[in-house]
């Protein structure tokens, strides 16, 4: 069970100080702003067990106008507390992804590499990876798993294509977040053409 605490979703709104202007026990300090996410995570653990719970963070994303005045301190604390809870994994969106757009990574953002020394469990990294850059992230021990979103949407047989180093279908960003089958189930598999 993954708790989405990134991209401006409710847990992210509590975490980051640009959106959290509360003056009660859920606002102000990093500890207070993290309280909501940690309580939600503990509630999920109580139902499904810690090994079946993961949390997704996008600490460098400005999607939905999100940002924090000190993301290093905020997400350092969050990662250590999630580690203390012993959750199954931490899923991190890399700095080069801002919502639905890939941007140039200036090296200042917080990605999986930042979280590796803070979180002892499995780390999943996501965000614009190719076959080669994903393999590099695994080889360098940046993460334990690499998540592919857009490439998987456009290539329903992505693992087979990676194994064969086959050409990939190009995804159509204009069909993202729309209704109907176009852009979701109409991409061809290898050999369908």
Residues classed as catalytic = 9
Contacts of 123 (CB under 8 A, 6+ apart): 89, 90, 91, 92, 112, 115, 116, 142, 143, 144, 145
CA distance 146 to 190: 22
Give the CA radius of gyration of the chain: 18
DSSP 118: T
CA distance 141 to 160: 23
DSSP 109: S
CA distance 88 to 49: 9
CA distance 137 to 126: 10
CA distance 126 to 12: 17
Query: CB count, 10 Å around CB of 104?
Result: 7
């Amino acid at each position: 069970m993954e708790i989405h605490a990134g991209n401006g979703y409710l847990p992210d709104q509590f975490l980051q100080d640009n959106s959290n202007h509360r003056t009660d026990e859920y606002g102000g300090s990093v500890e207070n702003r993290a309280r909501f996410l940690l309580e939600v995570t503990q509630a999920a653990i109580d139902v499904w067990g810690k090994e079946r719970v993961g949390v997704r963070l996008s600490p460098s994303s400005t999607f939905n106008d999100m940002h924090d005045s000190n993301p290093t301190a905020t997400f350092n604390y969050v990662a250590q507390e999630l580690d203390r809870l012993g959750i199954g994994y931490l899923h991190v969106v890399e700095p080069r992804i801002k919502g639905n757009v890939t941007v140039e990574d200036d090296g200042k953002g917080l990605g999986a590499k930042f979280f590796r020394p803070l979180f002892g469990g499995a780390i999943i990294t996501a965000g614009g990876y190719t076959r080669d850059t994903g393999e590099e992230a695994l080889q360098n021990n940046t993460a334990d798993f690499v998540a592919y979103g857009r490439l998987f949407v456009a290539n329903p047989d992505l693992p087979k294509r990676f194994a064969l180093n086959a050409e990939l279908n190009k995804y159509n960003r204009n069909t993202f977040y729309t209704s109907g089958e176009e852009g979701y189930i109409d991409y061809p598999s290898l050999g369908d053409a």
